[in-house]
């Protein structure tokens, strides 16, 4: 993230002058990226539209996007997907969780999926951390597990990352590893509540508290509970309902506080 640097504001201004027309920006400047993660979400959204509407055109567009990811972004030598930068489509060869995101795509070839899982996601020096899934490979020089004011995606583990990638582990038969990751996230919530993100090495809760999308963890709990785990990996689920309840009561209390604060002004206006 570079939005605190002067050059960032110039990027915004020159895009504004072109009416934020993506084709005009791409034709004129090199500072643009074909992002793996964005295209994964785009493909998944198209498939959702196809299911909701029954229109084949959405499914066809999703299939083209998924194939383009494999054809253009897959690096056979590194065994990762990389973003492409500029008009010459230069690969940005840094291993981040975006490089693993195509695991969520249903049409990803099995040989590519297993290579991503076994060589990256389950590698102890890359993404197999004690807690969750790091946002950057632990062997990258840019990896930073703790909190940083402007660079929060340089290493910390996010629950939404787990939510996107764990189903792929189950789909290809890595159930024990999927259970391990989910159980580690349950432990994080038991210790620190629903934080924005966590240190994947020591489990420290970081940044915002009672962070909404971290509750995606609840979406993954039945898979662990139904399968059962080893005694040493058994998740403690007791306080998660309490955490959800406290989030809702806190929201109600905050709403009441704001209404009370503005009440005198409202009564004065009525007079």
pLDDT for position 235: 41
Q: Give dist(CA 235, CA 230) in Å, integer.
A: 10
* Helix, strand, coil % in the chain, rounded to nearest 5: 60, 5, 35
Secondary structure string (H, E, C) spanning 51-106 = HHHCCHHHHHHHHHHHHHHHHHHEECCCCEECCEECCCCEECCCCEHHHCHHHHCC
73-105 per-residue burial string, b: 16 or more CB within 10 A, e: under 16: bbeeeeebbbbbbeeeeebbeebbbbbbbbbbb
Mean pLDDT for back-to-back runs of 10 residues, the chain (271 residues): 72 92 90 94 97 97 98 97 93 97 97 98 98 97 85 91 97 96 95 94 92 93 52 45 60 61 48 45
pLDDT for position 270: 45
pLDDT for position 259: 63
Q: State which H helix or E strand residue 33 sits in.
A: strand 33-34
CB-CB contact of 136 with 154 (8 Å): yes
- Token pair in block for residue 181: 């990751």
Q: Give dist(CA 50, CA 107) in Å, integer.
A: 15
DSSP 3-state of 157: strand
Angle between helices 239-270 and 175-192 (to 10 degrees): 50
pLDDT for position 37: 97
pLDDT for position 229: 42
């Amino acid at each position: 993230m570079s939005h605190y640097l002067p050059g960032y504001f110039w990027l915004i201004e020159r895009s504004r002058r072109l009416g934020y027309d993506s084709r005009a920006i791409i034709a004129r400047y090199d500072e643009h990226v074909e992002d793996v993660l964005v295209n994964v979400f785009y493909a998944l959204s198209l498939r959702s539209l196809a299911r909701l509407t029954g229109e084949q055109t959405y499914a066809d567009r999703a299939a083209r996007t998924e194939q383009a990811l494999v054809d253009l972004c897959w690096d056979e030598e590194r065994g990762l997907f990389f973003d492409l930068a500029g008009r010459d489509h230069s690969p940005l060869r840094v291993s981040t969780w975006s490089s693993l995101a195509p695991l969520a795509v249903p049409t990803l070839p099995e040989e590519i999926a297993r290579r991503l899982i076994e060589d990256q996601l389950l590698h102890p020096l890359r993404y197999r951390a004690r807690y969750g899934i790091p946002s950057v490979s632990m062997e990258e020089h840019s990896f930073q597990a703790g909190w940083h004011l402007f660079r929060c995606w340089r290493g910390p583990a996010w629950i939404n990352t787990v939510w996107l990638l764990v189903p792929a582990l189950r789909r290809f038969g890595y159930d024990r590893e999927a259970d391990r990751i989910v159980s580690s996230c349950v432990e994080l919530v038991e210790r620190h509540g629903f934080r924005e993100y966590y240190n994947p090495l020591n489990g420290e809760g970081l940044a915002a508290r009672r962070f909404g999308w971290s509750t995606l963890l609840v979406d993954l709990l039945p898979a662990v509970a139904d399968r059962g785990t080893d005694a040493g990996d058994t998740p403690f689920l007791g306080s998660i309902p309490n955490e959800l309840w406290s989030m809702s009561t806190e929201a109600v209390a905050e709403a009441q506080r704001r209404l009370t604060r503005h009440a005198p002004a409202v009564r004065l206006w009525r007079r």
